[in-house]
C-alpha cells in the first residue's frame, strides 16, 4: 500500500507494534545481549563488522553494534527520505564526519565543498583533521573542481544561514561519477528529498526539525544499502552511536514533523513579508522573497520555501555591516521577549541567533565574507507561536536594537 508522506511519518518503523501488543514503540536500553551459542554470536559479530544491518546479521551482540530502538528510528527516517537505509549518529557533526570517512579511500582523498556551508562543516573540511584535501568552490564551479581523486562533493541546501538554494540535480550532473552529499537539515524530508534528485547521501542534523523539541542531539545519513554498510562500519569503529532514548524521541518526533514544518513555514513566509517592508532591515533571506529563488527551485526541488529565514538589521548609519550593525544585532537579541536568543533550530519555539558571532564564527573570515555573513545578519528558526505575536516581538526588538546602537558610548 503506497502511503502519502504524512502517513509514512506517523507509521514508519511501527509495523510490528500490533504483533507485539503495544501502541507506543518500546525503548530497549540494553548495552549487551545474551546469545544462544558462540557460533551464532561469532556469525553476527562478523556480519555487523562488515556493515550488515541487524536483520542480515541475525542478532544483537552489543549496543555499539546494534540497538532495536535506534533501528526503528532509522527505518522510519529511511521511509520518509525515500532511501534504502539510514544510519544514525550521536550528533550531526559525527554523521558528517562518518560520511566523509565512508567515502574516502587510499586512492581518493580529495573533497569538493560548495560554499557557503555550515560553519563547523567548513572548519572540519578546512582543518586537515581527516587527512583530506578540500577544494572550495561555488555551485557553478563543481565540474571544474572535480578531480580523478575526488571522493565526495559536499553541498548544503537550503544554505545555512542565507537560505540560498542549490540545484541538487545540477550538482549531481556536474559531479559526474563522484557521489554527492547533501546537508538537507533546513529542508527536512517534508520539503525535499535529494535522493530523488540523484544525491548519494543525505544528512540531517536530527537535533533540529526531526527531533523538534530541543531535547535530543543526533545526526543521521541516508542512502543506499551499500553506503549504509560503510557508514555502519565507521560508526562501530568510532563509537559515535546514538543513545536509544534519543532514538525514541526522534522516532516520536517524525510523526508530527510534517505538521510542524508546514506551520513554521507559513509563519516564516509571513514574517519575511513584514521584514521586507521594515526600514530598519536590509536584505531578507527567505526563498519566498522576490529574487531569492531565481531558478524556481521551490515547486521543483522543494515543495515550499521552508521554516528558516535570515535578515540584516541595519546599524545607525544604515549599513548592514560594521560595528554599528553588530551593536544593533546585539541589541535586537537582548530585546527579544517571546523568541529565544539561542543557537540551534527546528524547535517548537522560535530561536534567533547571530551567525557571524556564533555558528559561522568557526569558519574562516574569507568564507564568511564570500558567504554574505555580515555583522548585522541574524537567523530565525521560526517556531509554532502565533505569527502576529512573533512579528510584534521581532519588530519591537529591531527598533530597540537600533536605538541602543545609536546611543553614544561613554569613555
Residues of the chain with pLDDT under 50: 411
Give pTM, 2 decimals. Answer: 0.95
C-alpha cell at 175: 559531479
Q: Which domains are delineated in the chain?
A: 259-406 (3.90.1150.10)
Residues 69-111 pLDDT 10s: 999 999 999 999 999 999 999 999 999 999 999 999 999 999 9
362-391 pLDDT, tens digit per residue, is 655 665 666 678 999 999 999 999 999 999
Instruction: Specify the 3-state DSSP secondary structure of 112.
Output: strand
User: Which string of DSSP letters, residue by residue, matches 46-96?
Assistant: HHHHTT--HHHHTS--BTTT--HHHHHHHHHHHHHHT-SEEEEESSHHHHH
Q: What's 4's DSSP letter? A: -
Q: What is the pLDDT of residue 358?
A: 78
DSSP symbols for 176-214: TTS-EEEE-TTTHHHH--GGGGT-SEEEE-TTTTTT-SS
Q: How far apart are CA 366 and CA 63, in angstroms?
A: 42
What pLDDT, on a 0 to 100 scale, did the predictor assign at position 372? 76
Report how far residue 276's alpha carbon sits from residue 279's, in angstroms, rounded to the nearest whole number.
Answer: 8
Q: Which residues, other chains included, contact 286 with Cβ-Cβ below 8 Å and sequence gap of 6+?
A: 163, 268, 269, 272, 292, 305, 306, 308, 309, 310
The residues near 399 (Cβ < 8 Å, ≥ 6 apart) are: 280
The answer to whether the beta carbons of residues 53 and 228 sit under 8 Å apart is yes
Amino acid at each position: 500500500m503506497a502511503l502519502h508522506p504524512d502517513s509514512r511519518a506517523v507509521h514508519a518503523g511501527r509495523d510490528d507494534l500490533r504483533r507485539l501488543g503495544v501502541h507506543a514503540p518500546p525503548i530497549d536500553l540494553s548495552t549487551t545481549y545474551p546469545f544462544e551459542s558462540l557460533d551464532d554470536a561469532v556469525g553476527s559479530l562478523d556480519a555487523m563488522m562488515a556493515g550488515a544491518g541487524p536483520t542480515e546479521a541475525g542478532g544483537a551482540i552489543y549496543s555499539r553494534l546494534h540497538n532495536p530502538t535506534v533501528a526503528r528510528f532509522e527505518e522510519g527516517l529511511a521511509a520518509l527520505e525515500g532511501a534504502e537505509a539510514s544510519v544514525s549518529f550521536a550528533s550531526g557533526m559525527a554523521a558528517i564526519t562518518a560520511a566523509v570517512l565512508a567515502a574516502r579511500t587510499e586512492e581518493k582523498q580529495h573533497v569538493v565543498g560548495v560554499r557557503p556551508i555550515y560553519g563547523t562543516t567548513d572548519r572540519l573540511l578546512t582543518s586537515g583533521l581527516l587527512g583530506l584535501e578540500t577544494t572550495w568552490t561555488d555551485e557553478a564551479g563543481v565540474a571544474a573542481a572535480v578531480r580523478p581523486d575526488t571522493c565526495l562533493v559536499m553541498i548544503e541546501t537550503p544554505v545555512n544561514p542565507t537560505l540560498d538554494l542549490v540545484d541538487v540535480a545540477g550538482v549531481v550532473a556536474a559531479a559526474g561519477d563522484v557521489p554527492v552529499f547533501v546537508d538537507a537539515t533546513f529542508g527536512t524530508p517534508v520539503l525535499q528529498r535529494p535522493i530523488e534528485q540523484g544525491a548519494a547521501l543525505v544528512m540531517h542534523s536530527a537535533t533540529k526539525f526531526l527531533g523538534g523539541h530541543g531535547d535530543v542531539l543526533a545526526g543521521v545519513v541516508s542512502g543506499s544499502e551499500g553506503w549504509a554498510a560503510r557508514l555502519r562500519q565507521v560508526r562501530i569503529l568510532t563509537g559515535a552511536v546514538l543513545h536509544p532514548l534519543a532514538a525514541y524521541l526522534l522516532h516520536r518526533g517524525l510523526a508530527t514533523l510534517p505538521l510542524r514544518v508546514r506551520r513554521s513555514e507559513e509563519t516564516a513566509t509571513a514574517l519575511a513579508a513584514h521584514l521586507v517592508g521594515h526600514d530598519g532591515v536590509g536584505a531578507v533571506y527567505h526563498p519566498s522573497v522576490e529574487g531569492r529563488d531565481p531558478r524556481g527551485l521551490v515547486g521543483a526541488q522543494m515543495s515550499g520555501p521552508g521554516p528558516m529565514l535570515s535578515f540584516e538589521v541595519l546599524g545607525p548609519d544604515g549599513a548592514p555591516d560594521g560595528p554599528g550593525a553588530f551593536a544593533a544585532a546585539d541589541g535586537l537579541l537582548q530585546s527579544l521577549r517571546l523568541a529565544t536568543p539561542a543557537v540551534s533550530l527546528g524547535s517548537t519555539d522560535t530561536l534567533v541567533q547571530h551567525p557571524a558571532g556564533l555558528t559561522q564564527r568557526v569558519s574562516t573570515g574569507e568564507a564568511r565574507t564570500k558567504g554574505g555573513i555580515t555583522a548585522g545578519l541574524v537567523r530565525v528558526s521560526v517556531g509554532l507561536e502565533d505569527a502576529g505575536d512573533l512579528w510584534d516581538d521581532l519588530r519591537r526588538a529591531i527598533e530597540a536594537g537600533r536605538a541602543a546602537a545609536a546611543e553614544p558610548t561613554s569613555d
